[in-house]
Chain A
């Protein structure tokens, strides 16, 4: 991340105050979003999302495993994010680890709900095969290829697109088992169940610069931020998760205001994403 001169910083802040950012966007406009699905054929589902110069790839792999003893009727999902050194020279070696952990935790909080599994955006009960014995484990991996701000939103959108692209093989339980034995299963190669993503939330990050909030900040604008709030909102307008970053404190009334702005923006974002994802799936089917 290159530094910015005093003049450039004032230009960016003045632009945000006047509702005209450096690339001509208003405060509540996203950069053009490009979606491509099925980019990793070995995974059960994958997607690549580009927002301006930010590019991320998400992939979903499904494996059979045992459900946890505390929740025998739910499958398991694990989310990991990796920041590639291709994105920033500072990510080389262990430099990207802090950011990766921060993003993974924020995504888990936004998409998976609390420890008991309540409020999860992804319906875990649909992943169970034999209650208490066998369930699907989903491993969701995100890779940051190019970083120009707003990584969390891009990763949330990529995960949503990858989940829409995910096909879970149909499983027949061939032999029932008693007690602790594992039942035998027959995994079909032909039939796939498409994952239901209508409940998966999107993440909207609002970055506070001066007195105003902007959505989809570039890395230059992020360097000027005082704090940022990421809200994950689903189609019904309900909040599934909330994360705050940045050193400055925010008054609670300001947080409520930011949340309502995020709800308003999320409607357009969900519609835009859905249309882009279906267009991408249609393209993938053609080719």
Chain B
């Protein structure tokens, strides 16, 4: 198990060990015999014909695992799913990415994957909202929509033949993200869920959990109709854009944004999956303890979060029974 990068004194180490062991024991009933390490034999019954999938190899007539992970079986397919891996995109995933290049009729985005993703100009709503063919003028105005280094939220549309992703941002909830901060966490901590856009109403904070490990925490913006309003006033275009961005985030909202961001950082250091519940738990824990926002990144708070999470999950499993 990769060591957690924290400096803890003796008592804190012991407390953290206990909390992590408690969490492990809650889950050890599930399929512990399905986990394999490299060169373990995968048990198969010799009568079935099976397809050897990713993470397996044939050695001396046996099927052997080539990665550490969990054995999954789907009909005739047997493969090994590794627990910590690069981001594996699927169609419909919500992605947060950063524009690295403005190319002909498309934007190239960096998304923590082995290749840059592509967002076609035709997959993006035009500022005036009309559905029409993209002309050369639209192509020349691409930089007014998204520039280099902008942070964008989009959805995976399909895969291209070379394996890179094609994105689309047609809905109002996708588009440029401003007034906030972008955090990077390991992608396997963000599991696919029903909702990736979270609007924390009482704090006025938007939280977007990108499946690629980019997490956006920022001030709440209503659905991106502000882009349409801005482009309508063509003469005032420059003014409205700069004033919209340079309006200061109010201090209370900024405090909430920083607290949520620190909660995400703490959970990512501890290696816990990021869901809205867990993040809000860590947030509320820090508020009830009246911790200064920067004190959340100290080792004591990490240990407290681990203990709280162990308690929460054990109470959940008790309720289920």
Contacts and interface: CB of A to CB of B under 8 A. Distances in A.
B94 to A, nearest CB: 19
Contacts of A32: 297-299
Contacts of A17: 248
A24 B149 contact: no
Given A5-B149, A7-B151, A14-B249, A20 B7 contact: no
Interface in A1-60: 2-8, 10-11, 14-15, 17-18, 20-26, 29, 31-32, 34, 36, 50, 52
A5 to B, nearest CB: 5
A4 B180 CA distance: 11
Contact of B179 (A2, A11, A24, A26): A11
Nearest to A283: B9
A8 B182 contact: yes
B181 interface: yes
Nearest to B178: A7
Contact of A22 (B151, B176, B181, B296): B181
A8 B245 CA distance: 9
Interface string B281-314: 0000000000011101111000000000000000
A23 B261 contact: yes
Interface stretch (B37-45, B59-67, B251-259): B251-259
A197 B299 CA distance: 28
A7 B261 contact: no
A23 B262 contact: yes
B167 interface: no
B265 interface: yes
A7 B180 contact: yes
Interface in B160-213: 176-182
B98 A18 contact: no
A36 B248 CA distance: 41
B178 A5 contact: yes
B148 interface: yes
A88 to B, nearest CB: 15
A201 B117 CA distance: 49
A24 B245 contact: no
A17 B296 CA distance: 22
A7 B146 CA distance: 12
Given A22-B258, A50-B7, A10 B179 contact: yes
A31 B259 CA distance: 16
Contacts of A25: 293-294
B182 A20 contact: no
A164 B297 CA distance: 27
Contact of A3 (B148, B178, B258): B148
B285 to A, nearest CB: 15
Interface string B240-270: 0000011011010011001101100100000
Q: Quick one: which of A18, A26, A50, A52 has the most chain B CB within 10 A?
A: A18
Contacts of B176: 5, 7
B177 A7 contact: yes
A11 B246 CA distance: 8
Contacts of A52: 297
Contact of A2 (B98, B180, B255): B98
Given A5-B176, A32-B299, 19 more contacts: A3-B148, A5-B98, A5-B150, A5-B151, A6-B178, A7-B180, A10-B245, A11-B249, A18-B251, A20-B255, A20-B258, A23-B294, A24-B258, A24-B259, A24-B296, A29-B294, A32-B297, A36-B7, A52-B297
